[in-house]
Structure 1
């Protein structure tokens, strides 16, 4: 029998890039990674919003390091620049979390449908592969390279009037699985998290009463989740010990996707 092999559950000193990190799940992930002593690139559209998160992390006394970069993930040139700058600042990249996103309702019969389709696919699908391609040279030099793509339970099903978002999130799952196969020989893991109903900026507009009704009807845990619950699953996927987990699609949804009625 082989001797027991201890595996590291620490990301201390690891360098991570988190997109969409100024709010919601991305912000929670940046906080958690820094608390776990990682070096975190906090990226989002607005520099001031990223700076605010970095200030929060500092005020919380996190043992890690956080730096802010404004980044529009629909801009391929900006992706290359920011990834390169973050790698130079941190001495490499070990972890990439593709989290940036938004939701624009869209009716396929309306002329405005294209106004939703283009930006949605650009930010929540094309940007994922572009971030990965930009980070890949650095990930290849890491001892425990990890990629986590944030999709949605909308990638496992669909709700009405949301087809661009649904298409993008299904695509993220496909991209995750395809790249897990392509990059597995190099020891680079690629996994996908599918959050369900989470209290973020996207769901802020839903009245609290309606949230409660939906959760009691559809979610076995009978509540909305919080961003920190998704962040902790993301952390689990990027640990050095998660070295044999790849191509996984993990719902963090309170049981939403397993409930039949």
Structure 2
């Protein structure tokens, strides 16, 4: 057959897949914000998604949204408090029972509770401990519980969500900043440990994104902040973070390992 495309007759050179079709993914914190956007995006790209979060109604709502578009086998909801070890074990067991294995783990769940050096001691201790449990300890635990299945799948992908607060910081968020810096360190350690076993581990640091966590700031303050600090002069949307998460989970991203990627509109590279 004559080639009329004007592109010659050579076969394509690229060999690596950019598809997550039929991959099995866990997304924590998936009932809202970046987690919800990530769950939707993975389902849109053909993955089978486990939506894990607090609140049965919230989880069911996201699962319903996905299954309405992609069919009843596209998503599974699991109510999970990531600070509770037994619930993480249950999350992995439910996932494997439903999907037969795990290919992708997105550790997205997180909290931000104000605390500082001058806080009353008992309150400080409680906030510090709970923030660490949710934001960093849960990620280490869930990786450990999911790891046998990620190894068995071959080409496993782990993406840990941190924050630009791991790179730069504001006053009054001591435990949040410390925990997110912990996520970047955890990511690098796991990447070194697991890279030779065909499991990559990477980290995303979202900047100012329009989520429930930033709703407490009035829109006018968001606009002023973005104009002053963010080179693209706006807040991001959850899907922009989700798209980077997807990129790191592609089979074609097999040589990307241990990176910490800000998705922040250039916030962290701006001096003044």
Q: TM-score range by the shorter chain?
A: over 0.9
> Cα distance, 1:61 vs. partner?
4.1
* Aligned partner (choices 135, 139, 156) of residue 145 of structure 1: 156
SS at match of 1:140: helix
Distance 2:152 2:257 in 1: 18
Partner residue in 2 for 1:101: 110
Which segment drifts farther, 34-43 or 58-67?
58-67
Partner residue in 2 for 1:221: 232
Partner residue in 1 for 2:17: 8
- Deviation string 1:132-189 (CA, Å, 9 cap, x unpaired) is 0000000001132000000000011111110100000000000000000000110100
Distance 1:63 1:196 in 2: 34
In the alignment, structure 2 segments of 5+ residues that lack a partner are 1-11
> Cα distance, 1:64 vs. partner?
7.1
Is 2:141 the partner of 1:130?
A: yes
CA gap of 1:218–1:69, structure 2 versus 1, over 3 A, is same
Structure exhibiting the larger radius of gyration computed from Cα positions: 2
Distance 2:87 2:130 in 1: 16
Could you tell me the TM-score, scaled by structure 2's length? 0.93
Could you tell me the TM-score, scaled by structure 1's length? 0.97
SS at match of 1:225: coil
* Aligned partner (choices 79, 82, 89) of residue 98 of structure 2: 89
Distance 2:126 2:56 in 1: 25
Q: Is the 8 A contact 1:34 1:64 kept in 2?
A: no
Q: Is the 8 A contact 1:47 1:70 kept in 2?
A: yes
- Count how many residue pairs are aligned between Structure 1 and Structure 2: 259
Distance 1:220 1:17 in 2: 33
